[in-house]
Amino acid sequence: MKLTDSGESRIRGYLYVFERSLRHFLSPAVSADAVREVESHIRDAVAQAGDVPDEHAALEQILNRLGPPMRVAQAYSLELVMDEAAVTGRLTSVLRSLFHAAMTGMIAFFTAFGLFVGYAMGIAFIIVAIMKPIIPNNTGWWTTPDGVFVSSGVNFPGAREGLVFHTTYWIIPVALLVGMLLLLVTHALARRWIIWFRNRRTWRPAFEAGPAA
């Protein structure tokens, strides 16, 4: 099948969306190689199609069989980012993997959500430690008059009705320690979960056929 300009545009459009989808997750070199391989696939499939009366229909069939570009990109990203996260444990890769994994199912979503909450709490504790020297009268922890812990952090105004406000500077090392511990434990759990998830080989996108974009 010899493509017309319209057919060429359709292929370029598909590859453009595919490349744009990959670019968020992969390095330019890896992304370019993936695009080149998918383009090679399309060109081969077009050549194998031979002479057809309806170029548009034949091309759409080829692209439908290939899958929507964003879905194919997602499968690439999931594999590559998870590999990187599992091997290097790099924070950005782990967070990206969690984001990807969260979209694959309900259990994965809630697990990833829980891990994101762990990261957020760790960061919040560290922010409290940083804010204490800057706004000492608004950073501390609150207890009931009986000494029961209510909450800690940064609050405006610092004093809260019916609660005792503790402004000691001990909160700095405590918040730092708790924050760092939370981040380390959450990160270790996230990495373990990603390795487990990766080994499960979640190939959901591979078996969801759908129309190409």
Give whichever of 7 and 153 is closer to another protein, judged by the CB atom.
Answer: 7
Which is nearest to 147 in space by CA: 164, 124, 162?
164
51 is a site residue for another protein (CB under 8 A)? no
Q: Which residues contact 12 (CB under 8 A, 6 or more apart)?
A: none
Among 6, 40, 151, 199, interactor with another protein by CB under 8 A: 40
Among 32, 39, 118, 172, interactor with another protein by CB under 8 A: 39
Residues in contact with another protein, counted by CB under 8 A, come to a total of: 33
Which is nearest to 64 in space by CA: 175, 213, 212?
212
Which is nearest to 91 in space by CA: 199, 191, 196?
191
197 is a site residue for another protein (CB under 8 A)? no
Give whichever of 23 and 166 is closer to another protein, judged by the CB atom.
Answer: 23
- Main-chain phi, psi angles of 181, to 5 degrees: -60, -45
Among 11, 59, 75, 108, interactor with another protein by CB under 8 A: 75
103 is a site residue for another protein (CB under 8 A)? no
Residue pair 12/59 in contact by the 8 Å Cβ criterion: no
The beta-carbon contacts of 25-34 under 8 Å, at least 24 apart in sequence, are 25/73, 25/76, 25/77, 25/80, 25/81, 25/96, 25/100, 26/76, 26/77, 26/80, 26/81, 30/80, 34/76
Return d(Cα 137, Cα 125) in angstroms, integer.
17
25 is a site residue for another protein (CB under 8 A)? no
Return d(Cα 100, Cα 17) in angstroms, integer.
18
190 is a site residue for another protein (CB under 8 A)? no
Give whichever of 83 and 136 is closer to another protein, judged by the CB atom.
Answer: 83
Shortest approach of another protein to residue 201 CB, angstroms? Answer: 6
37 is a site residue for another protein (CB under 8 A)? yes
8 is a site residue for another protein (CB under 8 A)? no
Q: How many CB atoms lie within 10 A of CB 141?
A: 21
Shortest approach of another protein to residue 144 CB, angstroms? Answer: 52
- Tokens of residue 39, six digits: 């383009």
Among 5, 29, 48, 54, interactor with another protein by CB under 8 A: 48
201 is a site residue for another protein (CB under 8 A)? yes
Residues near another protein, by CB under 8 A: 34, 36-41, 43-45, 47-48, 65-67, 69, 71-72, 75-76, 78-80, 83, 201-203, 205-210
